[in-house]
Amino acid sequence: MTAVPGTRAEPAGEGLAIERVFDAPRELVWRAWTEPEHFKRWYGPAGMTTHVCRFDLRVGGERFIGMQSPDGHEYHTTGVYLEVRPMDRLVSTEAPSDANGVAVPPSAYGMPDGSSMETTVSVTLESLDAGRTKLTLSQTGFPSADWAAGAGRGWNQGARRGARPPGGVRATERSGAGKGSRTLDLLLGKQTLCQLSYSRSGGRHSSLGPGATSFPGLRLSGIRVAIPRIRASARPADNPGL
């Protein structure tokens, strides 16, 4: 998924508001947020690895995430889903926890006891033209504006790492437009990377095997190639400091 220039991220009091437009359909962006194997690929500040991710995607269901720093320190958060509208909106709480998902006191994160460490994360997706998706994220309830600013940097660093659209490259073969012709499509998720049209002499045809570099007896009638941008650019044009 690729972020389009002109998106923004800005502090909102003791909270955070982010808008970003991705060159990816809403279904792919939703999966990047709700399927652990994809979420772990992009989530977290630079240098951190997300090694644990559990999503019980229903109202009242658990949301548990574990990250690890390069020096081996682990950081965990836990929360519950407050709202789940497939392909449209997610709202959940988030608070520091131990490795078992049990909330820990503020002092565990260097804050005075009695400080509020639970935030609320809201994510809304909107389909745009040309297969693009607008993501609007807010996170509120931080104990200070500094904590909100730090979270903003973390979200943007995570987006900078990028998120490969779910699903590997696969090939499908189908009948072509002309008699005896065939079309081979190479797909990444639902995006077409390459489309090859061909036919075999005498009206006979056969599949093109993996790794083939020449095709005796085949007549190519057309090749279409599209290379989708799948890396996220996380630096908003109007807020280069994030």
pLDDT in tens, 161-185: 654 444 554 556 666 666 666 776 6
DSSP state for residue 3 in the 8-state scheme: B
85 bridge partner residues = 89
Q: Check residues 214 and 100 and name the one with the higher pLDDT.
A: 100
CB distance 175 to 150 below 8 Å: no
Q: What is the pLDDT of residue 26?
A: 93
Q: What is the pLDDT of residue 160?
A: 67
Burial of 77 (0-12, 13-18, 19+ CB in 10 A): buried
Does position 208 have pLDDT exceeding 90, yes or no? Answer: no
**Stretch 25-42: mean pLDDT, rounded?**
92
Q: What is the pLDDT of residue 156?
A: 79
Q: What is the pLDDT of residue 115?
A: 73
The pTM of this model reads 0.63
CB distance 229 to 2 below 8 Å: yes
Residue 143: band (very low, low, confident or very high) from pLDDT cuts 50, 70, 90: confident
Residues 6+ apart with CB under 8 A from 162: 1, 42, 230, 231, 232
DSSP state for residue 48 in the 8-state scheme: -
Q: What is the pLDDT of residue 123?
A: 96
**One-letter identity of residue 141:** G
Which domains does the chain show, CATH number per domain?
Answer: 8-161 (3.30.530.20), 169-206+213-225 (no CATH)
Give the lowest-confidence range in 2-11, 59-68, 142-151.
Answer: 2-11
Q: What is the pLDDT of residue 129?
A: 93
**Stretch 49-58: mean pLDDT, rounded?**
96
